[in-house]
């Protein structure tokens, strides 16, 4: 296909595709799917070889959130039967992190539900970061605490945080359908605060919430404009007791097209398959490794993931290798440029970012803000392309996490 040849050439040059080209990737047929994966795989291998970075989530505070994010099982008023607990102590969090690191994880993502941290919360997380780094040489730590106030990103950086996650989640035009208690601009502002403080910015999206192809392209182009070092791609986990529990809009094929589109638009950033891969990609997960160079190991914030050993077996069987702590994830040109540089400068992107986000893994959702019980009305499913609404509800694949952080049971890592 001329389209795919063009996209490969642009990806190898770090050149921004046109919106029409990005939309065309999402519109390809199932007969063309392997060609799409092969093309995007060439771009992935150019910048990341066959390495897969493993990340591990620790939910420092579960539930009890005042925001109304429709996708989130931790939202205030959520009827989901999730674990609810207040802040883990630094030694508890460090112990939870150790399980993931022993399983091969290179980065620990410290997540807390809520609109944003207080200064006391930043102190707590700072103590936790120090505890983890004191016991684990070379570990990367990403914090994900919601909307940041002035000076908080700098304090996290001083405490040893390497990165900060805050997802845009969906397009600016549809953001109000998903969340009403904060704005899209609030999220953009927090990503920019992380950038300005010298933290590696991590910001991604959630697919499967009723959005159109145009919405998906909009948010990915906005992410390119923000220029994060890592882009988590979440696939909505429709958790019972949340407003989006009936939204089953994804097929494995559509998930692969979305990942390919993200890779073409952001060719040299860490693209992470985050929440929902087990639910929506299912047996097609190994193919997704040809598109993304990063995954979460084990469980998510409030739902269970694939067993850690199964993740490692999948990576090996597919011919990939786990990225070691001594290896640098990002291509050299991004490393030398600090937290800027490769996915596209603000000037070239022109994609609706304001001048003023897991880790982003979670139950199809970005860490913080995570939700409250305002309007229980889900976004109109009519926006979803007819061809995308082919997936049957696989509620059997959605299990609430009952182990790991906040429990007395060993974690899945």
Q: Which residues are catalytic?
A: 65, 69, 72, 109, 142, 202, 272
Evaluate the CA torsion angle 149, 151, 157, 162 in order and state its sign: positive
Alpha-carbon gap, residue 111 to 119, rounded angstroms: 16
Torsion of CA 359, 23, 70, 301, to 10 degrees: -20
Q: How far is CA 274 from CA 198, 204, 294, 305, in A?
A: 24, 9, 8, 10
The DSSP annotation for 190-226 comes to HHHHHHHTTPEEE--EEE-SS--HHHHHHHHHHHHHH
Angle made by CA atoms 199, 204, 208, in degrees to the nearest 5 = 165
Alpha-carbon gap, residue 136 to 48, rounded angstroms: 25
Alpha-carbon gap, residue 185 to 200, rounded angstroms: 19
The DSSP annotation for 235-267 comes to E----TTSTTTT-----HHHHHHHHHHHHHHST
Closest CA to 356 of 196, 157, 161: 196
Place of tokens 């991004």: 334
Say whether 351 sits in a helix, a strand or coil: coil
Beta-carbon neighbour count of residue 386 at 10 Å?
7
């Amino acid at each position: 296909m001329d389209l795919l040849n063009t996209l490969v050439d642009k990806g190898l040059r770090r050149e921004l595709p046109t919106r029409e080209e990005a939309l065309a990737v999402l519109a390809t047929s199932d007969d063309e799917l392997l060609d799409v994966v092969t093309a995007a795989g060439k771009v992935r291998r150019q910048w990341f070889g066959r390495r897969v970075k493993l990340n591990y989530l620790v939910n420092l505070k579960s539930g009890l959130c005042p925001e109304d994010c429709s996708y989130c099982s931790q939202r205030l008023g959520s009827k989901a039967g999730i674990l609810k607990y207040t802040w883990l102590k630094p030694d508890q969090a460090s112990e939870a992190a150790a399980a993931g690191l022993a399983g091969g994880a290179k980065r620990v993502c410290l997540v807390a539900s809520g609109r944003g941290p207080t200064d006391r919360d930043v102190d707590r997380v700072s103590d936790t970061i120090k505890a983890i780094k004191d016991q684990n040489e070379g570990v990367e730590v990403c914090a994900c605490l919601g909307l940041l106030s002035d000076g908080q990103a700098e304090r996290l950086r001083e405490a040893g945080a390497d990165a900060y996650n805050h997802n845009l989640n969906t397009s600016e035009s549809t953001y109000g359908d998903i969340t009403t208690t904060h704005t899209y601009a609030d999220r953009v502002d927090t990503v920019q605060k992380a950038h300005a403080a010298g933290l590696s910015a991590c910001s991604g999206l959630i697919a499967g919430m009723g959005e159109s192809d145009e919405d998906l392209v909009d948010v990915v182009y906005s992410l390119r404009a923000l220029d994060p070092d890592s882009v988590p791609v979440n696939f909505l986990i429709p958790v019972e007791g949340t407003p989006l529990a009936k939204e089953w809009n994804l097929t494995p094929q559509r998930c692969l097209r979305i990942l390919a589109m993200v890779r073409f638009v952001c060719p040299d950033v860490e693209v992470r398959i985050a929440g929902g891969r087990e639910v929506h990609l299912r047996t097609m997960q190994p193919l997704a490794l040809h598109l993304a160079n990063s995954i979460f190991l084990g469980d998510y914030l409030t739902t269970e993931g694939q067993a850690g050993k199964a993740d490692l077996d999948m990576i090996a069987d597919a011919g990939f290798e786990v990225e070691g702590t001594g290896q640098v994830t990002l291509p050299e040109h991004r490393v030398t440029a600090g937290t800027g540089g490769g996915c596209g400068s603000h000037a070239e992107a022109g994609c609706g970012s304001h001048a003023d986000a897991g880790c982003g893994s979670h139950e199809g959702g970005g860490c913080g803000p995570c939700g409250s019980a305002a309007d229980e009305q889900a976004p109109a499913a009519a926006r979803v392309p007819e061809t995308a609404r082919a997936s049957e509800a696989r509620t059997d694949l959605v299990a609430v996490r009952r182990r790991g952080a906040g429990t007395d049971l060993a974690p899945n890592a």
